[in-house]
Amino acid sequence: MASKYDGLARIIIQNVGGKGNIKSITHCITRLRFKLKDESKANTDILKNTDGIVTVIQSGGQYQVVIGNHVPDVYDVVCEHAGISGAAPVADDGPAEKMSPGAALIDIISGVFQPLLSVLCAAGIIKGLLAVWSFVASSSFGIDVTTSGAYEIWNAVGDGFFYFLPIILGYTAAKKFKCSEFIGMALGVGLTYPNMVALKSAEVLGTVFAGTSFSMDYMTDFFGIPVIMPASGYTQSVVPVVLAVYIAAKLEKFFKKRIPDVIKTFIVPLCVLGIMMPLTYLVIGPIATVICNCLTLVFGGLYNIPVVGGIIAGALIGALWQVLVIFGLHWGLVPLAMINYGTLGYDFILSPYFCVSFAQSAVVLGMILKTKDQKLKDIAIPAFISGLFGVTEPCIYGITLPKKTPFVISCIGGAAGGIITAVAGVKSYTMGGLGLFGLPCYIDPNTNSLYSMIWVIISILVAAAVAFILTMVTYKDEAPAAKKEVSSSASVNGEVLVAPVKGEVKPLTEVSDAAFSSEAMGKGIAIVPVEGKVYAPADGTITAFFATGHAIGITTDKGAEVIIHVGMDTVQLEGKGFNPVAKQGDKVKRGDLLLEFDIDLIKEAGYSTETPIVITNSGKYSDIIPTDAASVENGNELITLL
């Protein structure tokens, strides 16, 4: 079934270098995140100028196409048309991509966390709402709802998701490292197995690193070797299972090459799990715990600098969070919060970021009130609403970042709110929703204390007030920009395309397929043919000729990129009724016959014969003028490009 995002999806696939250039694709809240074999093959400028795309970011080894809140729908259509299964890697016989250590780390963290992010937030929201329910019931009615069946059932998924997080991360990490997902999950199961978790309360046999921040008890051993575990155990942990799966992936490849195929199916996982589970408890877990403790000490130490620690930490995180988001570097800090949730039961390090989306939204609100540009208002109003719920990419990329000063103001507002959050020692108790949905995360579920939530609200008000006032004082509409010159790829005197088919003319906006009528693919015109022949509309090269024969792409010698699409959904005919006369790669002259097709067969099959002629690089032209004739013959002037 056709989607309204079909056209946009095709443009994206074509301009990231084609489906053969895609290694994998994932998405977050607003972006398609591609891993490309060769980023130089991507047409970034074309994508940035395409309706439906906010901007393009190249960072952390990813080619990120910012779409907006409807990105999941676009993602599904892109995957369908590209013939790939999202994050699942495409077969790649080329050289492995080289990334810096920092980029590789960000790529790993984002690859492991992105697939579960939406459910992670949902589970956090459930925990937050349960905390609100418990607080209201206890303080207003003296009722303890935590023992009720309803609370227990909802808490089973809210708290249970975090409790068994190593199992889920085992799955996503295995997909990232190209290991068997069930091996990854099995390692997570081993880390959260009830008997091992129960060891936390068993008799202590000894302690290592006693008296330090790295102190760990052991309650059992493995053939005499102490099994060292953190006091909180490995439930809710992040780093141990990810490291374990990374090594397991290497080990799995090693055994697959050496174990005979006849027994490989069960012997490979047997060997991997038999080695990795003890190795995880004896080596990987303790090392991961030490690393996590070091990170917490470093960032916690910044907060603990006398007098100015909280101010510095809050200002840095509040001011720079949006910059980190732009480059995808915020993923490097997310595990710190997850570590703290698992070990401390709360996080304080990243709390200053929470007010930032409200500072960004306040800047946009100020611009809405001051601007006289209706087009800007049309973009800004939905972006403002989105920002209140924590999704600020439409605000950033569509409004404030291009204008620079408003973006800087939002960072200043974020810093002001971040300082208050840090100095007040605000704690979040779960990873939950964004924006307004995230407020319940700051209610202490053990004591029902509202201390942190109250201070978060104060920081939001301060951040928003600072950002709003500065915007109202400084913002002015820019003077109207001079009309852009036509790109050098188009003729200075314009270019005229002639009718490739004979028939009745109709506006492109009136065709039955939304991918064309929305002009997402570009501007143009449509013809309802009365003759089953397609001719070249200009001198040029056939750059695309679908195997089914229903669509032709031509790049003219003067730089216009033209798609001629015979009929709606005629790809379903799988070439029946279409007889290509030319082929992809051919140089053609205006009026050359390219294709013959059977109009009656198309109609009998139940498909429309409407034939859009679309200029896919419409952004390169100052104006695109279709003919006002009601019908055309082959060779009549059809579209003038200026």
Give the pLDDT confidence of 56-100 residue by residue, as tens digits.
888 767 888 888 767 888 888 898 888 876 554 444 444 445 566
Digit-coded pLDDT (tens) for 90-108: 444 444 455 666 667 667 7
Q: CA 579 → CA 547, 569, 594, distances in Å? A: 10, 17, 9
Instruction: Please name which of 47, 56, 22 lies closest in space to residue 36, comparing C-alpha atoms.
Output: 22
pLDDT bucket at 180, cuts 50 / 70 / 90: very high
- How much is the pLDDT for 88? 46
- How much is the pLDDT for 284? 93
- How much is the pLDDT for 3? 67
- Say which residue, 7 or 283, is predicted with more confidence: 283
Is the CB of residue 642 less than 8 Å from the CB of residue 623? yes
| 401-428 average pLDDT score | 91
Q: Is 26 helix (H, G, I), strand (E, B) or coil?
A: strand
User: Is the predicted pLDDT of residue 278 greater than 60, yes or no?
Assistant: yes
pLDDT bucket at 273, cuts 50 / 70 / 90: very high
Structure tokens at 363: 């800047």
| 214-230 average pLDDT score | 82
Structure tokens at 47: 């994508």
Give counts: helices (H), strands (E), the chain: 22, 21
- How much is the pLDDT for 94? 44
pLDDT bucket at 487, cuts 50 / 70 / 90: very low
What is the dihedral sign for C-alpha 561, 566, 569, 572? negative
User: Is the predicted pLDDT of residue 309 greater than 90, yes or no?
Assistant: no
Instruction: Please name which of 251, 269, 272, 278 lies closest in space to residue 196, comparing C-alpha atoms.
Output: 278
pLDDT bucket at 483, cuts 50 / 70 / 90: very low
Task: Report the distance separating Cα 392 and Cα 611, nearest Å.
Answer: 39
Digit-coded pLDDT (tens) for 337-387: 877 887 788 988 888 989 999 999 999 999 999 998 887 887 788 878 878
- How much is the pLDDT for 248? 96
Task: Report the distance separating Cα 386 and Cα 148, nearest Å.
Answer: 35
Q: Is 59 exposed, middle or buried (0-12, 13-18, 19+ CB in 10 A)?
A: middle
Is the CB of residue 127 less than 8 Å from the CB of residue 159? yes
- How much is the pLDDT for 228? 85
pLDDT above 90 covers a percentage of the chain that reads 30
- How much is the pLDDT for 616? 83
Is the CB of residue 612 less than 8 Å from the CB of residue 529? no
Task: Report the distance separating Cα 617 and Cα 593, nearest Å.
Answer: 24
Per DSSP, 538 falls in state: S
User: Is the predicted pLDDT of residue 544 greater than 60, yes or no?
Assistant: yes
Active-site annotation, residues: 28, 565
- How much is the pLDDT for 162? 84
- How much is the pLDDT for 482? 45
Task: Report the distance separating Cα 363 and Cα 475, nearest Å.
Answer: 9
Q: CA 130 → CA 148, 158, 231, 340, distances in Å? A: 12, 9, 26, 21
Cα angle: 417, vertex 419, 420; to 5 degrees: 65
What is the dihedral sign for C-alpha 194, 195, 196, 201? positive
